[in-house]
């Protein structure tokens, strides 16, 4: 049994109209081997086999052999084709696509500090190359995964960040290079004008495949709990976040690809806000939690929580899987058990 079978059935149950639209589609994807990309590939393969969509999905990767080792069932799927190349310079002469999904960005906080120009070039130059490819190949729609970071720091007295917020990153601080690069890439999509581009401003997520040893707090908490250690909060636990489950994320991204209004950004995420301390306790499930710092009395917490009213009202998208269930579904022990059923 496929370990994601229940989640993939959930995606199909909430994207029926999407697959009618994508029947026979030829889709090009960058970043298809990362967390977002693997969920889109898994759901594409699931729909391909169960909805008779008879389309093709071409995935740009820097290492086809590496992806074959990571996900051999996807690499060998008849509805998926791998091509090697750098997102900034790849060429596919004569290729014909109906849709493009641009996920690639390759950025971590450490990489932003140590190699900011590489991060900037990869996002900006990569987006320009993908836009050119979309036009060269005749694609009619392009989904670009941007980031909630494009707004800059969320005002601490603003509970949920709307798409209409006009703030931005601090361009004098290199830590904001990823955010500013995403803003610039969105502007490229705006001024390019030759393909219908839908920007998806993505916030925070959880689900199988999320790295458990990177810069994602929820992933690190799940790693600690799975290892039988106390869940460790490196800060004071006051920061506020929200998390959308990966299966719901796949529903949102497929829907935005076929139904999002071109040139209109959509926040993608959950609206249920939780503090990092609350999140740690949820993951620990009654087990020990260690917090390094102490909140400053009277100081409003730092926030990173979207308003998803636009996606909710225009596209009827919403969070379907509660955070507690999302955490449970992500636990490595549960996934391993399901894989043996």
pLDDT (tens digit per residue) in 183-239: 999 999 999 988 999 999 999 999 999 999 888 999 999 999 999 999 999 999 999
Q: Shortest CA distance to 40 belongs to which of 251, 203, 198?
A: 251
Residue 150 lies in a domain: yes
Range of the domain at 58: 5-205+245-271+305-322
Query: Strand 80-84 relative to strand 196-202: parallel, antiparallel, unpaired?
Result: unpaired
Q: What is the pLDDT of residue 213?
A: 86
Residue 217 lies in a domain: no
List the CATH number of the domain containing 109. 3.40.50.720
Residue 239 lies in a domain: no
Residues 6+ apart with CB under 8 A from 208: 3, 4, 7, 246, 329, 330, 335
Q: What is the pLDDT of residue 333?
A: 54
**What is residue 146's DSSP assignment?**
E
Residue 295 lies in a domain: no
Residue 10 lies in a domain: yes
Residue 287 lies in a domain: no
Contact 276, 235 (CB under 8 A): yes
3-state secondary structure of 56: strand
CA pair distance 85, 55, nearest whole angstrom = 22
Q: What is the pLDDT of residue 111?
A: 84
pTM of the model: 0.95
Residue 226 lies in a domain: no
Residue 228 lies in a domain: no
- Residue ranges of the chain with pLDDT lower than 70? 333-341
Query: How many structural domains comprise the chain?
Result: 1
């Amino acid at each position: 049994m496929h370990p994601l079978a229940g989640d993939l059935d959930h995606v199909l149950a909430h994207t029926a109209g999407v697959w009618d639209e994508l029947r026979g589609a030829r889709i090009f994807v960058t970043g298809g081997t990362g967390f977002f990309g693997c969920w889109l590939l898994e759901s594409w393969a699931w729909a391909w086999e169960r909805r008779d969509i008879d389309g093709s999905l071409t995935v740009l990767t820097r290492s086809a052999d590496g992806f074959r080792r990571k996900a051999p069932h996807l690499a060998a799927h008849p509805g998926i084709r791998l091509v090697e190349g750098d997102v900034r310079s790849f060429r596919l002469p004569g290729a014909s696509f109906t849709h493009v999904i641009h996920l690639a960005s390759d950025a971590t906080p450490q990489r932003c500090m140590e190699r900011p120009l590489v991060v900037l070039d990869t996002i900006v130059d990569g987006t320009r190359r993908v836009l050119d490819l979309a036009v060269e190949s005749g694609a009619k729609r392009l989904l670009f995964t941007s980031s909630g970071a494009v707004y800059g720091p969320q005002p601490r007295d603003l509970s949920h960040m709307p798409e209409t917020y006009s703030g931005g990153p601090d361009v004098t601080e290199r830590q904001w290079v990823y955010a500013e690069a995403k803003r610039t890439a969105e502007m490229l999509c705006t001024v390019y004008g030759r393909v219908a581009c839908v920007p998806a401003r993505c916030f925070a997520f959880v689900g199988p495949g999320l790295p458990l040893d990177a810069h994602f707090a929820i992933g690190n908490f799940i790693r600690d709990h799975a290892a039988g250690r106390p869940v460790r909060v490196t800060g004071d636990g006051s920061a506020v976040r929200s998390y959308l489950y990966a299966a719901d994320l796949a529903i949102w991204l497929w829907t935005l690809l076929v139904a999002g209004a071109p040139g209109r950004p959509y926040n993608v995420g959950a609206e249920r806000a939780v503090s990092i301390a609350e999140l740690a306790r949820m993951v620990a499930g009654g087990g020990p939690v260690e917090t390094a710092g102490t909140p400053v009395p009277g100081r409003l917490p730092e926030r990173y929580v979207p308003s998803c009213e636009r996606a909710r009202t225009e596209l009827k998208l919403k969070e379907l899987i509660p955070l507690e269930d999302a955490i449970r579904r992500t636990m490595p022990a549960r996934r391993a058990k399901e894989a043996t059923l």
